[in-house]
Structure 1
């Protein structure tokens, strides 16, 4: 009798269980404790049975009804208000889905390879400077994280694995150190909730984070990746698995720390990286949203390809609209590809956002960038942008300058700051007729050229880009 009754209960419950699996769901990037972009129109989407009306309701006072398509997907747009919360977001269709403890604030995507993926607690044998104290003081209900689990896919995915978490020692320790420092500086200054989405995999090149359409049309040299077994370095596979599922979750902008895996072809990267940025912006359909990135840190084992990759990054900053680059040649680690000063990196990224996107006046956000060169007899005179009060060595010795002779050969050079910081004089006793100057042209240097805000100048060369990036 018991067995008969059990079979009966299973019979009547099974259809209900199967039905629940097809009921109303939000997309995987949505969840309890998330942050949604304030003061804008956000995209909200999910799944339900085909041709079903789904009513989306937000407790800040808006709602919208949408109908699922033939594949059961639904999309809607909701207007958000000023920063605040907690709120509830609900979707009612064939079932009911409810998300709680939602805040409205600022949302940023943190992408790249291992230097962005590096957790606040550090990695095996590699510390993050000051991490224990930072973790101890990380409890902050207005700072929240979503980390996308690694996913490699040959085709674009609709979902990813991850969950929104409120910042506290246990969760902060596991989050991106650079992302945490960036988000914390924004949150503290702005006084609003900040949500960070981390999507990173160590050792990965930019082509892995770029869609197949762009690779096929602009970089046919990577098409061979589509005919062999894939891994995290294969073209498009991380875009498919770890970026596509996030689109079109409404963002304020993105920060990026990557490039080491592309160092063998700087000229290619000078085209690939801007193409990837454009690709993301096109897919998100939010216009030219802010995209700020980190130049490669000094590293003794990088060899010359390192410097040329830095130049490809510099060119990207100077040519791609609404982009910015953080230079860290003063806080590198000679024998560590993962420098421990991640707090400074994240905070410098935040300076770009605060100045450019949150209209904070009076702060510097960029180090000096080369503007012009003038040759007078045996000396070169160089001027810089992003140095309104001039340049300085911060009381260091000016080092790592070179000057070329009439045959194009570079020689070690001396440098002197003149005109109350408004110009740099460079010369060599071995060069009577100089042509060009370059600075920090080695894989490992300790930066000695700054603006008066203490932000370092990038490595640079006064020759044209075709010469600089020539393989």
Structure 2
């Protein structure tokens, strides 16, 4: 008899546990929900159970029934930025989420230059921590985790920004959020999902990599490491897929260093990744990337070729790129310490392109076309309507010019308002020009708006590959 009663008690406890409403980590007190949108709310409950959801901003109650898979999901409309608000979920149990803000939500992802934080004693972050308390910035940091299959939840929690909660959080992500919050004067939620060393393949659904012969071949060439995964899809499944029910305004991306040795496929890979993210989020959100910084790679040209691929990736709709060739204190350190200015350029890009604020020019000058005039090459650019200027010196650096023999020589440079003219006594009939096209180049030519000219080359000649320069 006692055994039977114990069994009934266990069944009662288990039945009650299974009937409880449960929420994913993203839906929690202190979160920021995307303003003026139909945001998803979702979770788990016993099959057939009705979940009642009340939002305090309109005191409206919606209901949804859990499916046979014990899952439920619905959308609610959010107002303009504001708060704090509450959301109450009622089923067999009641969950009340508090201190919820409505504002703008961004994802920041990539490898170490996005992930780095106070954990690496970055001077800017160490200085920032004591003065970082801001209840209008909320942080959600996804820890490094992998999975062979897409996951529906992630171990993380929303935190109000402050000296303790900011420890270990992405410096670029934080400074980006801080500038948006100050300029827009509304709450900002920033979700960090980054992992040092990871190639872009791990952030892309594995079937999209393995089913493409070029992407698969490149992925197989990436060297394994004990410090990070190189398995296609592994970080996407565990660190990105669980976020995709959560409405966002956009994403920022700082990655590429680990793809330098397979640079030829990077633009295609990034297109595949961005398209897959947007498809899963069902949102063609803006995607702004950081061009990798100058660095003393051990293979010739691989940094230059990766930057070229990042520029090519701008053909993806609704993307932008910030150039940081001038924000490097040491080209022998792959982790530039200046994260504030990187974040500021990303934030200005978002403020201009996403929020349509007037913040000045946000695009670096980009090569448009070249004309040959006798022994000179005349270069034209986008995003340089006010002309060019030389920083740190009197001569423009890092321009190279070549004729049909494909031998490049340092060029003499003349800056004019709407063009740059280059020539060399060694090149009688110019055919090609390269600018900043090397691993470590830190060129000194800027737009008068203060942004560095993006590295480029006008030719498509074969460039020595890593294997050829070993």
- Give the TM-score of the pair, scaled to structure 1: 0.91
SS in 2 for 1:56: strand
Alignment partners' CA distance in 2, 1:362 and 1:181: 17
* Cα distance, 1:361 vs structure 2: 2.4
Q: Paired residues, what number?
A: 456
| Equivalent pair of 2:348/2:359 in contact (CA under 8 Å) | no
The residue correspondences of 1:247-266 to structure 2 (distance < 5 A) are 247-266=244-263
2:190 match: 196
CA displacement, residues 199-228 of structure 1 (integer Å, 9 cap, x when unaligned): 011110111011123223333437879xx9
Distance 1:8 1:38, change over 3 A: same
| Equivalent pair of 2:415/2:421 in contact (CA under 8 Å) | yes
Alignment partners' CA distance in 2, 1:439 and 1:224: 32
SS in 2 for 1:97: strand
Alignment partners' CA distance in 1, 2:217 and 2:52: 47
CA displacement, residues 58-91 of structure 1 (integer Å, 9 cap, x when unaligned): 1111432111111111111010001111111122
1:101 match: 99
2:295 paired with 1:328: no
* Cα distance, 1:174 vs structure 2: 1.9
1:375 match: 372
2:357 paired with 1:360: yes
* Cα distance, 1:50 vs structure 2: 1.2
Which region of structure 1 is more displaced relative to structure 2, 107-116 or 384-393? 384-393
2:76 paired with 1:82: no
* Cα distance, 1:22 vs structure 2: 4.3
The residue correspondences of 1:17-56 to structure 2 (distance < 5 A) are 19-20=16-17, 22-56=19-53
Alignment partners' CA distance in 2, 1:171 and 1:275: 34
RMSD: 2.5
| Equivalent pair of 1:55/1:63 in contact (CA under 8 Å) | yes
Alignment partners' CA distance in 2, 1:372 and 1:122: 44
Alignment partners' CA distance in 2, 1:203 and 1:107: 25
SS in 1 for 2:193: strand
1:143 match: 137
1:186 match: 180
The residue correspondences of 1:39-438 to structure 2 (distance < 5 A) are 39-61=36-58, 62-119=60-117, 121-123=118-120, 127-218=121-212, 219-221=215-217, 232-286=229-283, 288-301=284-297, 303-317=300-314, 319-332=315-328, 333-361=330-358, 363-394=360-391, 396=393, 397-418=395-416, 421-438=417-434
SS in 2 for 1:130: helix
Aligned with residue 450 of structure 1, among 440, 446, 450: 446
Distance 1:94 1:223, change over 3 A: farther
SS in 2 for 1:27: coil
Distance 1:305 1:8, change over 3 A: same
Alignment partners' CA distance in 1, 2:452 and 2:11: 65
SS in 1 for 2:165: helix
Alignment partners' CA distance in 2, 1:229 and 1:427: 45
Alignment partners' CA distance in 1, 2:103 and 2:354: 14
Distance 1:206 1:223, change over 3 A: closer
2:436 match: 440
SS in 2 for 1:407: coil
SS in 2 for 1:171: coil
- Give the TM-score of the pair, scaled to structure 2: 0.91
